[in-house]
Amino acid sequence: MGVEIERKFLLASDAWRALGEPVLVRQGYLTSDPKRTVRARIYGDQAFLTIKSKSEGASRGEWEYPIPLADAAELLDRLCDRPLVEKYRRRIEHGGFTWEVDEFLGENAGLVVAEIELPSEDAPFDKPGWVGQEVTDDKRYYNSNLIRSPYSTWTDTAS
């Protein structure tokens, strides 16, 4: 079983904008049950089907498989819940880790988060100066929850 250990943060400044190349990501959920999610994603010119288990702290099971781009496009267009999650992602190397900064579009425009995947929940890491408040435990920031409660509908944000 694959395990994803991920921590999520808001941004403290716009300094990240000068780093990394933005890649358009389109993703949708075939199921976004809190116990499990099944996602189709187009990341640039690649496509994936991803299954994730319920989060336990910053960890959860994750299985990801490449699929044909045309299949992913059809899943997004015909079967995935609405709204789709669309964002620009930048991958930024810092302190021996890759940070992924997601700038959301559409109904989630205005939301920008940084994520880091770690080898263990207690692994030490250096936060870049542009990384701010941690929101790992705030389920509103899960991509799968952004289809049920888009950022544009939030009345109370941590940002």
User: How many residues does this entry show for the chain?
Assistant: 159
CA-wise closest residue to 145 among 33, 26, 3 = 33
Q: How far apart are CA 19 and CA 80, in angstroms?
A: 32
What is the Cα Rg of the chain in Å?
15
Other Cβ atoms closer than 10 A to 50: 18
- Catalytic position from the list 29, 141, 142, 151: 29
- Class of residue 122 by CB neighbours under 10 A (exposed 0-12, middle 13-18, buried 19+): exposed
Give the count of beta carbons closer than 10 Å to the beta carbon of residue 148: 13
Across-strand partners of 25?
43, 87
Active site residue 43: no
Active site residues: 29
